[in-house]
Structure formats: C-alpha cells, structure tokens
C-alpha cells in the first residue's frame, strides 16, 4: 500500500505532465505551428481597378502565404466601395490606401471604429500637373494658373474647341476630386477641360501626341509606367500652383506639397499604406505585424509598372514580378516574416 505522501506526489507529477502534453498538443493545432500562425485562416483581399496596383497586392499576399494564410483571389473595386466592404467585414484588407487622399473614403466607411491603416508600403509617391518641356521653355510656362490665359490654354487644345485638354484622373480614384476642386480654385473652368475617364487610353494618347511633336498637358502620379516614357525634367516639366487648394475633407496638416527642389506642385506627397478590418486584425496579430513591416521602394514599383506597359500585363505576369521581387529581397522579406510570426506567439 502506497503512503498518502507518495500518492499526492504522483498526482502532482501527473497534473504537471498532463499540462505539458496539453501545451505541446496546442502547438500542433492550426494557427500554432512554428512560423505558420495563419494556418487554417482565409484572407480576402481587395485590389484597385488599375492593373498597376496589383504588384504591391501580390507582394503582400506572398507574405501572408508565407505565414500560413490562404489568400483568396483579389476582388476588384474602386476605393469607396472597397473600404466599405472591408468595414462591413465582407473583405479583409486593401494595400492601396493613398494617404491622405483616401481619408474621406475611410471616414465615410466607418473610420477608426471599423478600419485601421498600417505601415508605409510605398513612400514618397508624388503627383501633379505636367506639360511637355519644349512648350514650357518656349512660352515660359511654369504655373498651372497661366492657363487662365486663353492664348496659353489654346496651345494644349487637342479637340478643337479652343480650350486646353487636361488628361486627368478616372472617377472614383480620389484624384479627380482634387482636380475638380482646383479647376475652380485656380479659375480654369473657362479655359481648361478636365478629360476624366479610363486612365490607360487617355495617357497612352498623351504619349502618342508627344512623340508626334504635339503639346501635352496631363495629371500623373508616381509610381507609374508613364514616368518612364515621359521623364520629368527631360521630356516634361512639373507645373507649380499659385497656392495649395485641397478640398477641406482631404486637408491634412504637416504633409508636404513640394518637390525636393522646393517647387510647390499643389498635391500631397503620398504614402501608400495598408488598410484592414479591425476584427480581422484583432484575430490575426501576425498579419497585422506584417502589414506594419512590409515596404517596397518606389523605384521598384516604377520598374515593375514599366514591364506592364511593355506587355507583361496578365495576372500571372504580375504574380511572377512579385515573386521575383521577393526572391531578390529574400533576406529582408524573411526577417519580416519571422518578426510577424513572433507577434502571434
């Protein structure tokens, strides 16, 4: 017969061993595998309607896959409905938040109570108005306000109505709101037409007209393939503005509208960030940490966008571009994955 003391000691050891085995078993359950905290979780991304934004989305998706998540095929939506779908929990994240340009879209979808914006996926994205360098130098045009002069505006008339044609921004992107606001603020309504529509044909036409020796006026942003074909400072010149004129709901303190050389182009220098559903983030700390860490140099996005222009424009092409970028930056990428995985422990 065992002594009471020995029985008690055995019970304690049994509980301890049982607890240890339970803990080890938990580590082998979905979501606890070493380095694979997303195992068993499906992520639903949404991408902008422009093909150029898919590259950054694919890079982020590869990171999530490395963490064990299953990433669904991307839904295609404009900004306002994309943020609303994420806020409602129908989708999980969007790696194309142009901050602060998209702030109004986020607030309309529910703001901080529903959505969180993380990291800086791409930094220093510029935007503004440009004209061909030859015309800028011949007529001394440096400021968009000069287009109030009908004679200056006629230089950029491509449809014969006597007004300048500004190759602009598609509806639903956010940049069209700023252009329309500035058309009034700078007194350009009577002399300039904002051609807002499908981005690719409008700007492909601008390139064709430039190569034919014609004058061009357009809005653009970086990163984008267009800046490889019409190089600022070589082929085209940025136009300054008489004053900063941003719609009140898009105004943000402390954000620059100036180029490195000091010229004020009137548009915020943008950071592109990742916005995700709050409930998704609370349940997926590894994904949240990865969203906070991942970063792609602007020049790399520009280079990839140029491959799209050159014809590598299928979804598999863009996925391959993303995989090649990850392979080229494997050391840094793996460090992000490792740190993100630790966040789930």
Q: Is 4 helix (H, G, I), strand (E, B) or coil?
A: helix
pLDDT in tens, 71-105: 999 999 988 999 999 999 999 999 999 888 788 89
Based on the domain organization, do 134 and 242 belong to the same domain? yes
29 occurs within a structural domain? no
DSSP H helical segments within the chain, as ranges?
4-27, 54-66, 79-87, 103-109, 133-139, 150-153, 175-185, 199-211, 226-229, 278-283, 285-293, 298-309, 315-328, 330-343
Q: Are residues 135 and 244 located together in one domain of the fold?
A: yes
Q: Are residues 312 and 294 in the same domain?
A: yes
Q: What is the CATH number of the domain that holds 181?
A: 3.40.190.100
Same domain, residue pair 108 and 91: yes
Residues 6+ apart with CB under 8 A from 14: none
Q: How far, in whole angstroms, is CA 285 from its chain's centroid?
A: 21
In a domain, 295, yes or no: yes
Give the torsion sign (CA, 191, 197, 199, 202).
Answer: negative
Helix (H, G, I), strand (E, B) or coil at 284: coil
* Residue 224 or 47, more confident: 47
Residue 302 lies in a domain: yes
* Residue 285 belongs to a domain: yes
Q: Is 229 exposed, middle or buried (0-12, 13-18, 19+ CB in 10 A)?
A: middle
Range of the domain at 301: 42-123+271-343
Structure tokens at 268: 């915020």
Query: Within this chain, do residues 142 and 171 fall inside the same structural domain, yes or no?
Result: yes
CA distance 230 to 210: 9
CB of 290 closer than 8 Å to CB of 64? yes
Is 264 in contact with 257 (CB distance < 8 Å)?
yes
Do 214 and 228 lie in one domain? The reply is yes
Q: Is residue 16 part of a domain?
A: no
- The per-residue pLDDT for 170 is 85
Reported confidence tier of residue 35, pLDDT bands at 50, 70, 90: low
Of 12-21, 31-40, 116-125, 250-259, give the range with the top mean pLDDT.
116-125
Residues 224, 131: one domain?
Answer: yes
Tell me: pLDDT of 212 over 70: yes
My answer on whether 300 and 284 are in the same domain is: yes
190 with 239, same domain? yes
CA dist., res. 59 & res. 262, Å (int): 33
**CATH of residue 63:** 3.40.190.10
Mean pLDDT on 163-167: 96
Residue 18 located in a structural domain: no
Confidence at 257, pLDDT banded by 50, 70, 90:
confident
Same domain flag for 116 and 185? no
* Separation between Cα atoms, residue 293 and residue 154, nearest integer Å: 48
Please give the tally of structural domains in the chain: 2
Residue 252 in this model has a pLDDT that exceeds 80 = no
pLDDT over 90 percentage in the chain: 66
Judge whether residue 5 has pLDDT over 60: no
Please name the residue that has the structure tokens 């494997």: 330
Mean pLDDT of 175-195: 94
Task: Classify residue 259: in a domain, yes or no.
Answer: no
- Cβ(78)–Cβ(69) under 8 Å? no
Q: Residues 239, 277: one domain?
A: no
Q: 36 in a domain, yes or no?
A: no
Q: Do 75 and 182 lie in a common domain? A: no
Would you give the DSSP letter of residue 115? E
> Strand runs (DSSP E) across 110-264, as ranges?
115-125, 127-132, 164-167, 192-195, 217-221, 236-238
């Amino acid at each position: 017969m065992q002594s009471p003391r020995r029985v008690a000691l055995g019970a304690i050891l049994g509980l301890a061993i049982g607890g240890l085995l339970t803990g080890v078993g938990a580590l082998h359950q979905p979501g606890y595998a070493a380095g694979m905290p997303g195992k068993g979780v499906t992520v639903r991304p949404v991408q902008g309607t422009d093909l150029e934004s898919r590259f950054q989305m694919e890079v982020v998706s590869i990171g999530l896959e490395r963490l064990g998540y299953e990433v669904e095929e991307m839904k295609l939506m404009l900004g306002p409905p994309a943020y609303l779908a994420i806020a409602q929990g129908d989708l999980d994240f969007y790696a194309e938040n142009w901050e602060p340009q998209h702030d109004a879209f986020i607030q309309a979808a529910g703001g901080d109570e529903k959505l969180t914006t993380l990291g800086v996926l791409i930094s220093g994205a510029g935007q503004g108005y440009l004209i061909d360098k030859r015309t800028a130098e011949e007529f001394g045009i440096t400021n968009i306000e000069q287009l109030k002069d009908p004679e200056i505006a006629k230089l950029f008339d491509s449809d014969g109505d006597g007004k300048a044609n500004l190759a602009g921004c598609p509806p639903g992107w956010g940049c069209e709101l700023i252009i329309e606001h500035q058309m009034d603020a700078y007194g350009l309504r009577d002399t300039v037409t904002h051609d807002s529509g499908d981005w690719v044909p409008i700007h492909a036409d601008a390139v064709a007209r430039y190569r034919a020796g014609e004058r061009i006026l357009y809005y653009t942003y970086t990163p984008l393939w267009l800046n490889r074909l019409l190089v600022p400072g070589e082929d085209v010149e940025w136009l300054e503005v008489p004053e900063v004129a941003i719609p009140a709901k898009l105004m943000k303190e402390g954000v620059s509208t100036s180029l490195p050389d000091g010229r004020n182009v009137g548009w915020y220098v943008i950071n592109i960030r990742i916005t995700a559903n709050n409930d998704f983030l609370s349940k997926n700390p590894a994904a949240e940490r990865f969203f906070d860490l991942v970063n792609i140099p602007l020049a790399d996005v520009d280079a990839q966008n140029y491959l799209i222009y050159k014809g590598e424009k299928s979804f598999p092409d863009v996925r391959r571009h993303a995989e090649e970028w990850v392979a080229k930056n494997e050391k840094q990428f793996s460090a992000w994955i490792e740190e993100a995985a630790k966040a789930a422990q």
